[in-house]
Structure 1
C-alpha cells in the first residue's frame, strides 16, 4: 500500500483558467507561463490543457528543447533570454523566441551568424530594476537589432513591479510608452495581475502565469473572487490519532501544548513533500471536508492537526492540504509566504494523479 499523500492535477480547471485569461484580454495572443516545471504542476502533465494558448513562456532552455522534441510547434519564449553565445545556434535550430534584456545579449546577437534568424522581445526596465534596458537606451537598442541579420522580428515588453496594486502600473506604463514612442513593434506587458486588474495596458501578447494554476496574483482578491479554479489539490490521510491530556505537547520542540484534553490527527505530509516547514500552529487543513488547524511543528514527513472540530475523524480520514475547498493562498498566508512558492515546491517523491474529463491517469 502506497503512502496516501498525492497531488491531484485537474486539467479541466487549467483549461477554464486559461479561458479566463483569454476572455480578459480579447484580441491578444496568450503566452502561457510554464516556468519552474509549470509552477510545480509538471510541464508534460499540463501541456494537453494548454492547447488553446498561442504559445508558452519559460526560463529553461532544456524544457523548451524537450517541448520541441515532443512536437510542440507554437511560439516558445525564453523570458530570461540566453546566457551564452553558444546557445544561439540551438535557439535558431529549435525556433525559440528570446528576450533580450542587456547589452551583452544584444552584442552577442549582432555578432551571431545563424541559419534561421530569431524573434526577439526587447525588455524595458520600467521600475522593477531586475532585467531590462534603461528607457533612454531602448530606441537605440531596437535600431541596432533591427539591422542585425540574426534578428527576424522585434517585439517590446516589460514586467510591472506593482501590477497587483490598484494604481500600480500608471507610472511604469508612462515610462514604457515614452521609451517606446515611435517604435512600430508589437508589445507584451500584462502578467496575471495585469490581465485582470489593468486591462487598460493592452498589448499584443499577454503572459498569464499564476492565474492559470488557480491561485491569485493579488494580496486581497481571492482566486474564488476572480473565478479561478485550483488546478493542484494536495491530498493525504490521517495515519494516526493521538489522545492528548491537558499539558501534553506535540512534536519537535514542544511547539504545541494542549490546554485541555483533545485528539490530534497525524497526517502523512511534511516539508520533505514541499509543505512549508514554517507553517505555524493554526494553519488551516481540511479533514473530512471540515477545517482543522495545525498543532505542532511541521516535520519532514508528518504534520499534526487538532481534531476538535472534526469529532468523526479517524485513521484513514481524507485530508486536503491545499486545493479544492482550501485555497493554496490561505495556507501560504498562514505560513508567511505566497501560493507560488508552495506550488513550485512540490517534492519529486509526491505521487501525482492527473485528472482529465472521463479518465484518471497516475503519473509517478
Structure 2
C-alpha cells in the first residue's frame, strides 16, 4: 500500500522507505496484474474547553486502499471511506520514468507537503487544529490556523483532474496539478480550471526547500468566475523515523470566502523527534512533537483577526506506525483563549 505513498513523497523529495510495517496484503488479480489491499482505522476522543460542548468518542477514519499494478508502466489506485463509501482517490497512473509520473482521476492536489504527507506518518491529529465549538475565523470559520485556511479555501483537498510529478535529479523535484476546482467528485461549472504546483530543491542530505503556488478557480461575491492566487514556501530538515525533524511553511493568498480583496498570511512550524525504544521494550518508539501556527485572516480594521495555535503532543508506537497519539491544541486570538484535547488510536494493516 505504501509504494504509492513513497512515489508521492518522492515528488517533494522524501523517501519513506520504512513503510513495510503497515503490512498491506498483495494478491494476484486477473490478467497477471497484482492488487495490494490495505486499510486504516483511526479512533478518536475529543474534548473542548468551550462551554456546552460535549466530549465524544468517534471513528475519525475507516479507509480501504487498493493499489493495482498492471506492469512497470501502468498502475491504479482506489481509496474510499467505509463510512458512507465516499471515494477519496481513484486514478490511473502512468510511470514512464522516475522523472515523470502522471495520474488521471481523483487525487489530493495538495500544494504543500503538510497536506500531502499521509496521515499514517503525521502525529498531528487534526491538520486544521480545530476546537469544537469555536467558529471564529472570518470567512472560513473554525480557528485561524494554517491548515484551516488551506483546507477551507480549497488549496489542499481531493479533486478530479490531471497530475504530473517526478524527481528529475538528486537536486530537483516537481509536482503540478490541473483540476476542476469544485472538490471531491464534482463536475466543473465552467471551462476554467484550477492549477497548483510545487518545485523542490534538495541542497544536502535530508534537507528540502520548496516553493509552491496555486491559481484556484472560484466564484467571487458577485457570482463571477475568478482565479484566486496563493503562493508559499516550505523548508524541511530531517525525515520520518529518524531523530529530529522540522517542517516550516509560509503562505500568502486571498481569503475569498471573506471578500474578493481580503489577503491572508499564514505561518506554521512543526517539530518532531522520533526516539526508538530498546529491543526488549513493549513499545517500538516514542515521538514528541510541537506545532506553532499563526494566521492573519485578511480582515481589515476594525474586524482584523489574527490567530495563534500551539499544539504540544506525543505519539507512542507499538509496532510500525501503529500506536496512540495525544495532542492539545491551544488557540488564542485577541482576548479569547480556547483549547481542545485529542487522543487518537492509529491502526494500519
Pair member with larger Rg: 1
Q: Which has the higher contact order (CA 8 A, sep 6+)?
A: 1
Asked whether the two chains share a fold, i.e. TM above 0.5, the reply is: no
Counting strand residues as a fraction of each chain, which structure ranks higher?
2
Q: Report the TM range for the smaller structure's normalisation.
A: under 0.3
